Structure 1
Amino acid sequence: MSLFVDSLGPLASALGTTIVMALVAGVASLVLGTLVTAARISPIPVLRGAAFAYVQFFVNVPLLALLILAVFALPDAGVIMPLAPTTVVVLALYEAAYVSEAVRSGVNTVAHGQIEASRALGLTLGQTLRLVVIPQSLRAAVQPIGNVMIALTMNTALAAAVGVVELTSAANKLNLVQAQPILIFTGAGLLYMVLALVIGLGAGRIERKVAIVR
């Protein structure tokens, strides 16, 4: 009981940090990933090439390597930010590549005839993407995006490697004091599981609400 009481405060505070990081990075990655998708399907070769390079870079470089590079190399280049915001920015940039892939899979569900009809009605490319293609793509990709958000939440644990006191870091510090790894890390794992379940159930509910009946 004493271990539970002593652990509750630090773990609750660290859990709050994890949730905030996941929320901010999740929203940012969703916005950025959608923009990257729009660039990837645009008829402008330069935009398509830049978006493709962006996705390939972040998909093929380990997140931990990016975090270490941002935290320890950027200050040498004169870019100094607090640890938590730096981690959130890296998470958002990294997960945006996966969001882009998820949204692009939703683009494939939009009938080509709708795009042609939009252009026939006089809509510009930007209007066609904003009013026709992207909304339907997002609705079709709710569950894949939900999976990306779950992965993002789990990836916040890597922030412990660069000094951010989130859930994994707090659990490790408690274990160094209490020497109860099974109880402490099982509890932390259960908290991550709850977060994943909440995101998964929420994505499922949103998917049912916005499902496109064809």
Structure 2
Amino acid sequence: MIGAVKRLKLYHFFLVSLVLLALAVLFTRERLERAFIAASIYHAHIITPPSALAGSSRAHRLKESAQLYWDFAEIPMARAKRLQLLDPTLKPLVREMSRREAAGEDMQIPLHTYREIRWRENFTPDLTATRTKIDALQRSLATTEPQRLTVSDQQDADGSWAQGIDVWYLKLYYSVNKLEACREAPPHPLLYMNRISSPSGLCRLVTMNAPFVRNIPRTGAKLAMRFSERA
């Protein structure tokens, strides 16, 4: 009887130990993954730490450099989490767009919306805005009538050729080829270009995006992409 009790206690001890070990692994896995990514960024020379301040110690410089790589390692990890969270809703919509496009339906506006969604997933932490665009994509695909745009319909009221897109940088990106092909004034004036049509407009963009220059890791956004979203 005493031997059975001892064996039971020993069994409970090992069981509790295994549970605690599993919890420890789960808790540390993310930190280990982040450390691996930080080391990969360092060895790939993707970024370079800023020059050391005069008088700073070697230990301080090493700490600052390690913190920089650690902060940047959070960016791809946060992206992976967003994809895991949002892709189950997005993938069926992509399949529906592919089916309709193969059937000859004009998918220009839904595809524009989808491209902004992917941009937001990859480069911004704003899940609310991303979900709003996914909802917009769902609504645009809810219609059963084929969408066929004429040439004049392709230009949005703000002058861009990017219906379905709200981000200014993407509006510009998807309008460049259309602008180059224009041989006469388009139906709508290029109002979306107003923000960079003057030196003051350019200065305003730089000023508003200054926090992203100083604190890129904590914003969760890549500066080159995020820069043009702010109004």
TM-score in terms of structure 2 length: 0.27
Specify which structure has the higher proportion of helix: 1
Say which one has the larger Rg.
Answer: 2
